[in-house]
Every structure is written in C-alpha cells, then in structure tokens.
C-alpha cells in the first residue's frame, strides 16, 4: 500500500500552500492540484519558456483565469459500475451540464518533469506531453485534477466527444503587470461541431467525457501488458489498436 498523500493543495511559484475542497469521489492517496507542481530537474529557463508566445502557437486558445475553477464546475467524477465498461470499478468524468462544441472543459494538471529517463516514471499511465521542444511532460499518476480520470473512447463509444489541446492560460505572476501572465498548458476541450455539424449538440449533461489516448499510448500499454503477462490489459490494448 502506498503511503497516503495529503490531498487538496495549491502549489505555484508565487503563491503559498492553501487548503482546497476536494471533488466528490476523489480517490484517496492522490494529491488534488489546482496548478502544476514541478520537478527539481525542470530549469528556470524551461519554466520561463512556457510563458513565451511563439508564432507557431499564436492561434492557440487563450483561457482566462475566470474560466478555471477548482473543483471544476464542468465535470463530475463518478465511479463506473457498468460491467460492460472497460473501466468498470474505476472512475470517469461526466459533464455536469451541457457543454457546447469547442468549449473549454478543464486543464490537465499534474507533476511537470523533464523527459530524461531519470526524471520519468516509466510505469505511469497518466504521462502527457506538455512541450516536446522543451522536453517537458506532465504526469498525473500521483497528483492531478479531475482530468486524470478522462477515459479513452474505445469500447465505450464509436468516437470521442472531447480532445486534448494546447492552449495558453492566465496564471498568477508577481513579476507581470496586472499580476497575471500567459502560460502554455494542455487542456480538454469539447470537439468541434465538424464541417457537417454532426457534433453540434456538444456533450449533454450526464454524458461521459471521452478522449482519444492515441495509437502510441495503446502500443506502449500492449508492450507493458506483454511484459507483465497481464492478459486483461493485453486484450484491451489489442482491441484498441484494431479499432
């Protein structure tokens, strides 16, 4: 059994720790975050670079601080009891109210680390690329927010209804005018309506928010399952790659 980690703390460069309310059905032993934490291996230069606007990402969506709440009012965590669901017995996130196409749902938060092997948890299933050029990823295995419970659509629905997108968010900064700065993040957004408008309804209240983990994720899961002789996971990963 892992040692119990104290949940619900806010950790930023500029702000002190403060208590936070936990979302309903938050798992024990996982730290709830309202902002990233950073590995000691992440340099000051890398952190600074996350706040630089580049021409290639000038079209990224900007999410204002007023749109970010913790716990999120856009989602609810639920324990899945449907035996036909691939994640039965685990958790998923569900829309707390109707969400329109292209709308921001919530940030993907966790522990930001470098991509060096010595700074990466090879067993984590919650590691997401944050900035490839800077060599940074964000891992939600031991700490994060509601987004760590977003399930892959395979075996649940014909297609995802949400996706991970790069974006800029407003975060506190004592060094910037107005006390805020823009910083690169990854967030979950509702899929667009599409050219034919097939997804114009967005996500209805009570629907599970489903994303696409991507082929590389399932290939890695298949390799790990083979190594661990985990037949159940091997079957799920194989079916996902066939879909």
Pick the more confident residue, 225 or 34.
34
Average pLDDT of the residues of the chain: 86
> What is the β-pairing status of strands 136-139 and 111-114?
antiparallel
pLDDT tens figures, 88-129: 999 999 999 999 999 999 999 999 999 998 999 877 889 999
CA distance 180 to 91: 34
pTM of the model: 0.82
By the 8 A CB rule, do 191 and 203 touch? no
Residue 5, pLDDT score: 32
């Amino acid at each position: 059994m892992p040692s119990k980690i104290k949940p619900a703390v806010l950790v930023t460069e500029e702000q002190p720790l403060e208590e936070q309310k936990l979302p309903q059905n938050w798992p024990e032993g996982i730290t709830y975050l309202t902002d990233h934490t950073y590995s000691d291996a992440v340099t000051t230069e890398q952190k600074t670079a996350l706040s630089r606007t580049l021409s290639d990402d000038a079209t990224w969506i900007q999410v204002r601080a007023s749109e970010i709440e913790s716990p999120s009012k856009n989602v609810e965590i639920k324990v899945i009891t449907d035996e036909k669901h691939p994640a039965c017995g685990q958790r998923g996130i569900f829309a707390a109210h109707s969400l329109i196409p292209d709308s921001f749902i919530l940030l993907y938060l966790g522990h930001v680390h470098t991509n060096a092997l010595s700074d990466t948890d090879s067993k984590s299933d919650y590691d997401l690329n944050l900035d490839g050029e800077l060599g940074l990823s964000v891992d939600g295995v031991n700490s994060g927010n509601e987004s760590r419970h977003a399930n892959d659509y395979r075996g649940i629905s014909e297609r995802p209804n949400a996706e991970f997108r790069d974006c800029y968010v407003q975060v506190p900064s004592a060094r910037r005018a107005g006390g805020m700065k823009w910083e690169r993040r990854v967030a979950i957004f509702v899929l667009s309506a599409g050219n034919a408008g097939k997804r114009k309804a967005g996500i209805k209240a009570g629907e599970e928010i489903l994303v696409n983990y991507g082929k590389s994720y399932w290939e890695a899961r298949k390799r790990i399952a083979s190594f661990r002789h985990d037949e159940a996971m091997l079957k799920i990963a194989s079916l996902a790659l066939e879909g």
